[in-house]
Amino acid sequence: MKEIQLSEHFSYRKLLRFTLPSIVMMVFSSMYSVVDGIFVSNFVGKTPFAAINLIMPFLMMFAALGFMFGTGGSALVAKTLGEGNRGKANGIFSMLVYILIAAGMFLSFVGTIYIRDIALWLGADENMIEDCVAYALILLPVLPAFILQNAFQAFLVTAERPNMGLAITVAAGLTNIFLDFLFIAVFDWGLAGAAWATAISQSIGGIVPLVYFALPNKSPLRLTKYRFDGKALFKVCTNGFSELLTNISMSVVTMLYNFQLMKYIGENGVAAFGVIMYVNFIFLSVYLGYSIGSAPIVSYNYGAQNHYELKNMLRKSLTIIAVLGFVLTGMAECLAPLLADIFVGYDIELYALTRQAFMLYSLSFLIAGFNIYASAFFTALNNGFVSAGISFSRTLIFETSAVLLLPLLFGINGIWLSIVVAEMAALTVSIILLLTYRKRYCY
């Protein structure tokens, strides 16, 4: 099938065909920790399961660097390609990849030294500390590959190779599932087996595209020699800051949720929230995948000053997001009992709590897609300030406030509904900003 070019006009069918690989790619990426959670919870036990939930936000904060360079970098690279400057685009792309490799190696080294102190700071008790440290020490050495994997998810779309990105991610995801079964269920390696399965899978996702771009290829992008461009790097960082902020904020908010749940319920509350977070990422990855897949189209047409296509993209995207919102919310409500049973069916009390909590929490899927897309849309327009404003208000302001205040009014249900209230408030901000900047960007 002929590869779709960024310069083409996008109908609904063509837009979905172009973004589908990114959507599936993000869903499979979210499967890494989910599969680990299922196997660890059912085959190893509740305490190691809690240990993963405790240390994973810290590891995901490192991964945020890849998302920042990937989204912010692909927006600038796609815009530069739209302006007809392929050599400059490749120089920027190469610089970002090399910086990510160096940063990943440095963070891996520092994280390995201080991981025990970090686990204790996150609240690990004497029953969990060794599991937290053991899990992280296996994943930290492959941190550069994990960071690259997150960045390449966006760059492969900009390179007009979304299907290749999909194939690599699916291969890595299936590898993770198979190795989880082999290492945990067959070899009985416990938590270490889950960590090794994830580490090997992340290596595939980061190294394979690195080799592809390093070798001669027919895509618009290739790793080349580069001249350091501080201005471009600053633009990438400011433009992708919203993605960095979103990922770091999610980690901070997760810690706050855990604190409140320990206060109102105890260990079962934290375990139930852990299940929700695993499943939540799968559903939100659909919105994230669509946003990543469609962003280069927006950036390209912004660079080419094609205002008609910008309007076309925004109108069609909002329609698609609305339909996805109803579909995903309906699926979540119907699948809540099954999903709770898969993770914690062995504990009747925990199962009932998880099912009820997820049915309340999943109402947020109806709204979340609009906020995720609005932030990504402004990133694609190279306006990182507005994009960061949406992300910051959505998580660190609205969700944090809701998690602290709603339990005082509605008890435990207030915690589960905090995300719904936060998304509604953030939607108001997104609408105002989209209307405010409409004339400036002519969409």
Taking only the tens place, the pLDDT of each residue in 152-205 is: 988 998 998 988 988 998 899 889 999 999 999 999 999 999 999 999 999 999
pLDDT above 80 for 123: no
Q: State the Cα–Cα distance between residues 147 and 97, nearest whole angstrom.
A: 10
pLDDT band at 238 (very low <50, low <70, confident <90, very high): confident
- Reference 286, options 331, 317, 321, 249; nearest CA is 321
pLDDT band at 2 (very low <50, low <70, confident <90, very high): low
Token pair in block for residue 42: 């059912």
Greater model confidence, 443 or 353: 353
The pLDDT, as a whole number, for residue 1 is 54
For 338, residues 6+ apart whose C-beta sits below 8 A from its C-beta are: none
200: number of Cβ within 10 Å? 16
Provide mean pLDDT across the span 8-16. 90
Token pair in block for residue 305: 């000053």
Amino acid at 377: F
Alpha-carbon distances, residue 247 vs 65, 252, 256, 271, 391 (angstroms): 9, 9, 14, 21, 9
Q: State the Cα–Cα distance between residues 402 and 361, nearest whole angstrom.
A: 13
Could you tell me the residue ranges of all domains in the chain?
12-441
pLDDT above 80 for 246: no
Amino acid at 264: Y
pLDDT band at 46 (very low <50, low <70, confident <90, very high): confident
The pLDDT, as a whole number, for residue 346 is 86
409: burial class by Cβ within 10 Å (0-12, 13-18, 19+)? exposed
Greater model confidence, 8 or 115: 115
Provide mean pLDDT across the span 406-422. 96
With contact defined as beta carbons under 8 Å apart, do 320 and 275 qualify?
no
Q: State the Cα–Cα distance between residues 124 and 376, nearest whole angstrom.
A: 35
Q: CA 125 from chain center: how many Å?
A: 28
For 41, residues 6+ apart whose C-beta sits below 8 A from its C-beta are: 49, 343, 344
229: number of Cβ within 10 Å? 15
Among left, alpha and beta (phi > 0; psi -120 to 50; other), residue 45 is: left
Q: What is the dihedral of CA 179, 114, 124, 148, to 10 degrees?
A: -40
Average pLDDT over the chain, rounded to whole?
Answer: 91
Q: State the Cα–Cα distance between residues 96 and 321, nearest whole angstrom.
A: 30
pLDDT above 60 for 149: yes
For 50, residues 6+ apart whose C-beta sits below 8 A from its C-beta are: 128, 267, 270, 271, 274
